[in-house]
Amino acid sequence: MIRLSFPLMFSAVLFAVGVYGVLARRNGVLVLMSIEVMLNAVNINLVAFSQFFQDNTLLAGQIFTLFVIAVAAAEVGIGLAIVILIFRNRETINVDEVNLLKW
Amino acid sequence: MTTQEWIFVVLGIVGAGAAVRLVTARNVVHAALYLVVTLATVAAVYLLLAAEFVAWVQVLIYVGAILVLLLFGLMLTRAPIGREALDNQQRGLSAIVGLGVLAGLIVLLWQAFGDDRIDLTTSSTALVGESLFRNFVLPFEVVSFLLLAALIGAIVLARRDEA
């Protein structure tokens, strides 16, 4: 027995910390790390609600968590390729200095 | 409070503290190591919620693969040290937005699910696999195709043009 609100509060804290990290960091790799923290917060919610609704045959929450983890792996691979490409061209990975597409 | 809830409180404090240190650290490698702690506590939370397969996938993919990728990214780019080099000028505004998100989520979730309890039932790896390949075969194949596309895309992006 565990209160549903415990995992929900933990994931809320992780999500808020990730939002702060994405907004306040200027290093590209650190922004990617903060995005990973937010994805983890969502995954905790998925698993907690999967258990809360007693979904013991379909297990949709846990399987969706696995899909989110796979998509996060793809996202980090592409994101780091872009970061390394920017570093090679601009000698910086500060996201606020990459403003070629900014009007 | 039950034993599981006490363990959960300890894990939550450790994980949330490491996450806060992750977004405030002045050294990028320290930030990556705090990310290890956060991801490991999330894996322990999955174990506590009786989702063992997801917990081990979390350890394998996040701590094993994604974190090594991020460390490679830090290694290949010049990593400056210091707050001004890693953070931008919007720290105060970002903190306000983050605290606003936190307050909104906590109020909403507490009103909706304040007293509900989870009746934990163990979901074995066999059950997860059976459901995955019985009910979610098409999404599974789509994810494999997405990973292939990401692999090719990353190689194309990171390759040096030798023209």
Instruction: State the Cα–Cα distance between residues B94 and B90, nearest whole angstrom.
Output: 6
Residue with tokens 């094993």: B64
Nearest partner of A32 among A98, A93, A102, judged by Cα: A93
- Two structure tokens written together for B32: 């990556």
Nearest partner of A28 among A51, A9, B60, A89, judged by Cα: A89
Instruction: State the Cα–Cα distance between residues A56 and B24, nearest whole angstrom.
Output: 40
pLDDT at B163: 58
ipTM for the complex? 0.93
Express each pLDDT in A20-74 by its tens digit: 999 999 899 999 999 999 999 999 999 999 999 988 888 999 999 999 999 999 9
Look at A40 and B62 and tell me if their CB atoms are within 8 Å: yes
A35-49, B3-17, B84-98: the lowest-pLDDT one: B84-98
Look at A20 and B12 and tell me if their CB atoms are within 8 Å: no
- Residue in A1, A5, A82 nearest the CB of B2: A1
Q: Which residues of A touch B137 (CB under 8 A)?
A: none
- Two structure tokens written together for A21: 């990290």
Q: Which of B5-10's residues contact partners 24+ apart within 8 Å by CB, and which partners?
A: B5/A2, B5/A3, B5/A6, B7/B48, B8/A2, B8/A6, B8/A7, B8/A10, B8/B45, B8/B48, B9/A6
pLDDT at B159: 83
pLDDT band of residue B40 (cuts 50, 70, 90) is very high
Instruction: State the Cα–Cα distance between residues B22 and B40, nearest whole angstrom.
Output: 14
Look at B94 and A24 and tell me if their CB atoms are within 8 Å: yes
In the three-class reduction of DSSP (H, G, I as helix; E, B as strand; rest coil), residue B143 is classed as helix
- Two structure tokens written together for B7: 């363990």
> Could you tell me if A31 lies within 8 Å of chain B, comparing CB atoms?
no
Look at A82 and B116 and tell me if their CB atoms are within 8 Å: no
Instruction: State the Cα–Cα distance between residues B18 and A9, nearest whole angstrom.
Output: 16
